[in-house]
């Protein structure tokens, strides 16, 4: 069966060429299985919760047999009143599965469940004061870019449902009698819950591969009280009739273009190459037989250094007329093809010019100001890193959707110049709100002496959030509150005691292997692989490993553990967050021995994050003499 699914439409709207690669199952860099994706944002819980609010709902559940599911859906829709979960809607090579479809005679409610949150208080205020809702731009009233994708998603569903209903029975579902009203069902950030919502949802993987379905390979059980859930759920329902009608003509027109590339033999819709190709998910690692990016770009994909490597390359020439797009159309995609006189952005050009000069000569660069900045950092030096998680469903009673939980910190402290760093850490995997204990333990470790160093602004944001959570939860600890106010930047006018090494890197340091990036995961390997003296320092030596003559990135040396017959290792922040979610609410919730192994992996990863900062700081000191 040839069809354009909802996800197909979304991919094609981003770039029509991608539809061809998706249909031919080209590998992508963004591939994650359904279990992991749903675990990441709590979407599985939100989807299940929404269904529980409609206890008479019937799920259309099929495996690979779409025809059977379509037949079940059509039969169910013959009833006067019915609620369906994931009915299969198909019309003229277009296929969707509606999250919740409510039929009352000839009136339909199409409900799309999303884990993206909204604030009903803000929405009501906008309606009362400006006559617009949260989906509209406050300045011009147009549909906001933040919401347009979601609106178009629902509009596509409305389009397919309308066509299918007209095909089922022209008399029963005549266009002048049928009413379809679309809604978004989402977590409402203005709501709190009095019960431990998340603890009542159990998720596990299954062999089921219902296609296409949000719950493919997943089973979610609710163990709580339905009456309590009805009183304490955090979902909100908001109508989007006007917004859908506004985008529907464009959605229909685009759909016809996409369908034309599918139904008469799959063909590629050619799109001009541009700066937007940089983030293409079909740009995969070397060795892959299928690489969508290389198919589009041909020989231009292999140019080094590539124009995409330049720091904020898309800003050259301005957003409206980016010079990069003009150069790409001319086949000039070497980073040095960019005219220097076009680098005139006061904020970004300095970094761009540094990158061009020092990449060409293959040298590191340090500003004249960096030595004095580092000299002002008093000992002891505390290098800290936090692991946190936000989920659509509140973790604990009293919390709001997407409220932050801080469950782990790592700290390397250098007591005095030349001293060996001392490591300490804290992690909490209990089912009790951890944030205040997290901050108290950190305060006890850091005290009031020395300098606290971070990488980027995440740590400041976490400490600021905890400060305001103390007020919201009426948590009394004057010493902790005073310490947080002193250390963190609570508002735009405040100063912070935290030294941001990412900001220092942006203004004062460059290494050619970093290219246009300054993340910790890019700066560390650039320095580590080109400075052998670091490998001889005793407390850094454990991270040195060579394979086939190539020095590995320290994150590649982290030791995996075998968990459920699979080698597992955490090497980035998303992996840490997913591990936490899995232990708290996933399939390892009741497996203490497996939880302990994940705990060790979390500690190993977070420890390297702060050691990475120590390595970079040590190199800067050495370089500066």
Residue at a domain's end among 263, 285, 309: 263
> Quick check: 44 pLDDT over 70?
yes
Average pLDDT over residues 538-557: 97
pLDDT (0 to 100) of residue 289: 78
pLDDT (0 to 100) of residue 556: 97
Judging by beta carbons within 10 Å of its beta carbon (0-12, 13-18, 19+), is residue 372 exposed, middle or buried?
exposed
pLDDT (0 to 100) of residue 175: 53
- Answer for the pair 241, 248: CB distance below 8 angstroms, yes or no: no
Q: Is residue 346 part of a domain?
A: no
- Answer for the pair 455, 385: CB distance below 8 angstroms, yes or no: yes
- Answer for the pair 181, 285: CB distance below 8 angstroms, yes or no: no
Question: Shortest CA distance to 494 belongs to which of 483, 502, 486, 482?
Answer: 486
Question: Shortest CA distance to 462 belongs to which of 486, 484, 447, 437?
Answer: 484
One domain for residues 379 and 236? no
Q: Is residue 324 part of a domain?
A: no
Distances (CA, A) of 166 to 22, 237, 445, 449: 30, 27, 68, 73
Span 387-400, pLDDT tens digits: 999 888 888 889 99
Percent with pLDDT over 90 in the chain: 78
> Quick check: 285 pLDDT over 60?
yes
Q: Is residue 360 part of a domain?
A: no
Q: At 319, is the pLDDT very low, low, confident or very high (cuts 50, 70, 90)?
A: confident
Average pLDDT over residues 258-282: 95
CB atoms under 10 Å from CB of 333, counted, come to 21
Q: What is the pTM of this model?
A: 0.92
Domain that holds residue 403: 373-625
Query: What is the secondary structure of 146-208 as a DSSP string?
Result: HHHHHHHHHHHHHHHHHHHHHHH-TTTT-TTT-EEEEEEEEEBTT---SS-TGGGEEEEE-S-
pLDDT (0 to 100) of residue 169: 65
One domain for residues 237 and 385? no
Q: Is residue 167 part of a domain?
A: yes
Span 132-154, pLDDT tens digits: 999 999 999 999 999 999 999 99
Average pLDDT over residues 605-612: 98
| Number of domains forming the structure of the chain | 2
- Answer for the pair 528, 615: CB distance below 8 angstroms, yes or no: yes
> Quick check: 332 pLDDT over 90?
yes
pLDDT (0 to 100) of residue 196: 86
Q: Is residue 508 part of a domain?
A: yes
DSSP state of 316: T
- What is the rounded CA–CA span in Å between residue 336 and residue 334? 5
Q: Is residue 250 part of a domain?
A: yes
Span 484-522, pLDDT tens digits: 999 999 988 888 889 999 999 999 999 999 999 999 999
CA atoms within 13 A on the CB side of 575: 15
Q: Is residue 353 part of a domain?
A: no
pLDDT (0 to 100) of residue 495: 83
Distances (CA, A) of 128 to 13, 169, 183, 189: 34, 42, 20, 19
Q: What is the largest CA-CA distance in the chain?
A: 86
One domain for residues 92 and 233? yes
> Quick check: 171 pLDDT over 80?
no
Query: What is the secondary structure of 77-119 as a DSSP string?
Result: TTSSEEEEES-EEEETTEEEE-SEEEEETTEEEEEEE-S--B-
pLDDT (0 to 100) of residue 41: 56
pLDDT (0 to 100) of residue 206: 75
> Quick check: 66 pLDDT over 90?
no
One domain for residues 234 and 105? yes
CB atoms under 10 Å from CB of 574, counted, come to 12
One domain for residues 79 and 220? yes
Q: Is 386 helix (H, G, I), strand (E, B) or coil?
A: strand
Q: Is residue 280 part of a domain?
A: no
Average pLDDT over residues 525-531: 98
Residue at a domain's end among 238, 263, 288: 263
Q: At 173, is the pLDDT very low, low, confident or very high (cuts 50, 70, 90)?
A: low
Span 435-454, pLDDT tens digits: 999 999 999 999 999 999 99
> Quick check: 34 pLDDT over 50?
no
pLDDT (0 to 100) of residue 271: 96
pLDDT mean across residues, the chain: 92
Residue at a domain's end among 215, 241, 263: 263
């Amino acid at each position: 069966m040839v069809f354009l699914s909802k996800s197909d439409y979304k991919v094609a709207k981003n770039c029509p060429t991608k539809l061809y690669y998706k249909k031919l199952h080209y590998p992508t860099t963004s591939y994650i299985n359904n279990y992991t994706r749903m675990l990441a944002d709590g979407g599985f819980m939100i989807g299940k919760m929404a269904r529980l609010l409609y206890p008479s709902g019937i799920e259309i559940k099929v495996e690979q047999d779409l025809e059977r599911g379509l037949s079940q859906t059509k039969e169910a829709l013959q009833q006067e009143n019915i609620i369906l979960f994931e009915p299969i809607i198909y019309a003229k090579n277009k296929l969707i599965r509606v999250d919740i479809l409510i039929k009352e005679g000839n009136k339909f409610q199409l409900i799309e469940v999303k884990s993206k949150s909204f604030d009903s208080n803000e929405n009501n205020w906008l309606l009362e004061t400006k006559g617009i809702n949260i989906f509209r731009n406050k300045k011009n009233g147009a549909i906001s870019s933040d919401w347009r994708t979601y609106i178009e998603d629902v509009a596509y569903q409305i389009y397919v449902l309308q066509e299918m209903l007209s095909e089922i029975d022209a008399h029963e579902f005549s266009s002048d009698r049928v009413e379809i009203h679309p809604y978004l069902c989402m977590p409402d950030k203005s709501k709190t819950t009095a019960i431990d919502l998340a603890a009542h949802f159990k998720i596990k993987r299954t062999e089921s591969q219902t296609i296409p379905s949000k719950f493919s390979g997943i089973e979610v059980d609710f163990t709580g009280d339905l009456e309590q859930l009805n009183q304490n759920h955090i979902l909100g329902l908001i109508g989007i009739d006007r917004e859908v009608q506004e985008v529907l003509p464009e959605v229909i027109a685009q759909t016809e273009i996409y369908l034309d590339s599918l139904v008469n033999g799959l063909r590629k819709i050619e799109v001009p190459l541009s700066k937007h190709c940089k983030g293409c998910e079909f740009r995969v690692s070397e060795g892959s037989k299928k690489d969508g990016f290389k198919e589009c770009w041909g020989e231009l994909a292999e140019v080094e250094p590539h124009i995409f490597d330049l720091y904020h390359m898309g800003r050259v020439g301005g957003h409206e007329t980016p010079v990069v797009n003009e150069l790409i159309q001319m086949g000039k995609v070497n980073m040095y093809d960019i005219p220097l006189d076009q680098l005139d952005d006061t904020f970004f050009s300095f970094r761009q010019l540094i990158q061009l000069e020092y990449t060409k000569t293959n040298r590191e660069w340090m500003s004249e100001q960096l030595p004095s900045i580092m000299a002002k950092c008093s000992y002891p030096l505390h290098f800290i890193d936090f692991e946190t998680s936000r989920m659509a469903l509140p973790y604990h009673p009293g919390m709001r959707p997407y409220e932050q939980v801080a469950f782990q910190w790592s700290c390397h402290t250098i007591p005095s110049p030349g001293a060996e760093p001392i490591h300490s850490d804290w992690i909490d995997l209990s089912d009790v709100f951890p944030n205040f204990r997290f901050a108290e333990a950190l305060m006890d470790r850091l005290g009031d002496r020395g300098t606290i160093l971070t990488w980027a602004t995440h740590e400041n944001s976490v400490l600021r959030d905890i400060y305001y959570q103390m007020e919201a939860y009426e948590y009394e600890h004057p010493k902790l509150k005073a310490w947080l106010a002193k250390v963190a930047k609570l508002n735009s006018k405040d100063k912070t005691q935290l030294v941001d090494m990412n900001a220092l890197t942006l203004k004062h340091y460059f290494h050619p292997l970093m290219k246009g990036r300054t993340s910790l995961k890019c700066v560390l390997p650039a320095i580590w692989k080109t400075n052998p003296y670091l490998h001889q320092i005793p407390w850094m030596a454990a991270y040195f490993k060579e394979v086939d003559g190539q020095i590995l990135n320290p994150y590649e040396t982290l030791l995996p553990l075998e968990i459920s017959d699979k080698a597992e290792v955490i090497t980035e922040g998303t992996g840490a967050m997913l591990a936490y979610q899995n232990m708290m609410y996933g399939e390892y919730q009741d497996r203490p021995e497996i939880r302990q192994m994940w705990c060790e992996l979390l500690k190993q990863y977070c420890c390297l994050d702060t050691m990475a900062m120590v390595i970079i700081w040590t190199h800067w000191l050495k370089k500066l003499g």
